[in-house]
Amino acid sequence: MGMENPRHGDTAFLDGQFLVAMPGLTDSRFARSVIYVCAHSADGAMGIIVNKPVTDLSMPDLLVQLDVAPEADAIRLRERVGHMPVLMGGPVEGKRGFVLHTDDFHIDQSTLIIDDGICLTATVEILRAIANGDGPASAVLALGYAGWQAGQLESEIMANGWLNCPADPELIFHPALDAKYERILRSNGIDPAMLSLSAGRA
């Protein structure tokens, strides 16, 4: 069986799944993070951290900063997108915006359809659409992403750095970022308190 073109849905590839950081993960940048895997192949993987906010930046401010919307629209934007968190998507390309969104919005050649009605678009057009109220029903904006070279994610999972599990689309867009980590662990039968106990016994 040739590996050049694995069929999608092959269990070896985790696109469309959550990765949940385990105590075995030594990289502090990813502690307690939940990552939605957007692309995974033999060449590597990329994903977006969906539970870490950029604390000093709101969505309306960002749209004004990027010249997507004029400053005069800030009040209207606060009503429309003030609830939408800006996420710290990962350490790679931290100034670039990546929008995870529902599949009711699509830009030809720009939107990557991932799985289960979830898409990724990284162009300014989707931000314009969101600012104008013509965007997807649900969306989160992340600055930066997490990336892995070929085989790197697999070896981190083998070393118990990550738990992978099916993604719950509702949780991707849920505004209660702090609760996502524990909710996903509990839904997979893991008591978060047990994890923090074992973390101290390196």
For 130-167, what is each residue's pLDDT tens digit?
998 899 999 999 999 999 999 999 999 999 999 999 99
Q: What is the DSSP letter of 84?
A: S
C-alpha distances in Å from residue 4, one per residue of 43, 155, 192: 10, 20, 39
Q: What is the pLDDT of residue 198?
A: 53
* Residue 48, pLDDT score: 98
* pLDDT tens sequence across 167-179: 999 999 998 999 9
CA dihedral 179, 172, 125, 44 (to 10 degrees): 110
d(CA 184, CA 189): 9
Q: State pLDDT tens for residues 55-112.
A: 888 888 888 888 888 888 878 888 888 888 899 999 999 989 999 999 999 999 999 9
**Domains (ranges, CATH) in the chain?**
17-193 (3.40.1740.10)
